[in-house]
Amino acid sequence: MASFVSTATTIASQHADRIVLALLGFAAGYVDGCTTVALFGLFVAQVTGSFVVAGALLVVREQGALIKVLAIPAFVVGAAVATVLVSWVRGAATAVLGLECLLLIGLAATALGGPMSGPDEPRALAAGLFGLGAMGVQSAFVRLTMRRACSTNVMTTNTTQVAIDVTVALLDRLARAGLPRLQPAHDPGEARDRLAQTVPVMLAFLAGTLGGAVASHRIGFVAMMLPIAIMLGLTVRAARRGR
């Protein structure tokens, strides 16, 4: 009986974590969609492009390069602050999720002052830094507190992992169907478990980017109220669970 209760509790916890990951993925995609439309093509959910821009600045000058270069330290600082909170603060999940919520409020408040003339305008820079810091916080939060969880804001790694896991699952099925030489080297059970976690997050992120882009285009940064509400809800949930 005790074993059954323990198993049921574990399953329920995994299900809850997957819902949280999907919500984080949706929020990250939504914020990315908003900033891409309203902040002149800035992607805040990940900084891969910023490394390319930083290198290209040696030979190319382009408008908006400053925020893309500042994206790297802003993202790093967000991740570093989240790491400090997780290491030193009781109720770390509440603190980190609350910090992300505050940074998103800062993004919305900064950008609500009316149209911006270009990516190098101080208000656009400030809004972008708030968004980048928020995504750095979220990225670190998932890696530090939800071990073995997929990323909720960097989809390149997730896409690679899905390709691997789908192939492993397919090879396993073919091996079971009478082609034993196709037996995969990796555990197909683990691959299916990862797919059950990663695919919903990727779909949630995609839905978020579409929703954020459309909402930002139609109503401006008022659209940021949705991801702020999601993060506020997750913060309250963490606080009630004493995390």
Please state, in angstroms and rounded to a whole number, the distance separating the CA atoms of residues 107 and 3. Answer: 47
> How far is residue 81 from each of residues 134, 157, 177, 207, measured CA to CA in Å?
10, 23, 51, 29
Reported as a single tens digit per residue, the pLDDT across 181-238 is 888 888 999 999 999 999 999 999 999 999 999 999 999 889 999 999 999 999 999 9
Q: Which of these, 237, 198, 203, lies nearest to 97 by C-alpha position?
A: 237
Q: pTM of the predicted model, to two decimals?
A: 0.90
The H helix count followed by the E strand count for the chain is 8, 0
Instruction: Cite the DSSP H helix spans in 39-91.
Output: 48-56, 65-88
| Cβ within 8 Å of residue 47, ≥6 positions away | 71, 72, 75, 132
Reported as a single tens digit per residue, the pLDDT across 80-116 is 999 999 999 988 999 999 999 999 999 999 988 777 8
Please state, in angstroms and rounded to a whole number, the distance separating the CA atoms of residues 129 and 72. Answer: 10
What is the span of the domain harbouring residue 124? 2-240
Q: Which of these, 115, 118, 83, lies nearest to 99 by C-alpha position?
A: 83
Q: How far apart are the first and last CA of the chain?
A: 28
CATH number for the domain spanning 36: value is: 1.20.1250
Give the number of domains in the chain: 1
Q: Is 155 left (phi over 0), alpha (psi -120 to 50) or beta?
A: alpha
